[in-house]
Amino acid sequence: MKIIDVLQMDAILDDLKSDDKKGILQEMAVPLAARANVSPDYLVKVLMERERLGSTGIGGGIGIPHGKLRDLENLILGFGLSRKGVDFESMDGRPTHIFFLLVTPESSTGLHLKLLARISRILKNDLFKDKLIKAKNREELYSIIREKDEEF
């Protein structure tokens, strides 16, 4: 499964404004909650429960918050860019700029892990991360992600 197969344009946020973890999750939850047929508050609750197990801020300016919903039929994905960076309790203690938010059905562990691995793999490329941070709008972000996704 490719990232671009599940990432929709309306779920790309090119200028996150929040300055803390919960705020970032609240902003990113809005477009995904509608597709998941849940309230944004409920989705944030699920994501924050996962964060209590350990931060999904993996370091290198990257956060991959994720959670599972019982009644969700298909995996959904969002992307967010914080231009100023935010304390996401990352492993390296540095600000997080790039976020992929993944929400999957409770029963789809394999698919969830495959997409997490794919996202992690492409984000190891510093040139790719730099392009994302410099992107001017959601269309440019989508194009950059699509181009990199097709290489794998």
* Catalytically active residues, by annotation: 66
3-state SS string for 58-77: EECCEECCEEEECCCCCCEE
CB 96 within 8 Å of CB 61: yes
Bridge partners (DSSP) of residue 103 are 67, 76
90: which DSSP letter? -
Q: Alpha carbon of 92 to those of 5, 20, 47, 89: distances in Å?
A: 31, 16, 21, 8
Residue among 114, 149, 115 at smallest CA distance from 131: 149
**Sole residue written with tokens 């959904």:** 76
CA distance 61 to 99: 9
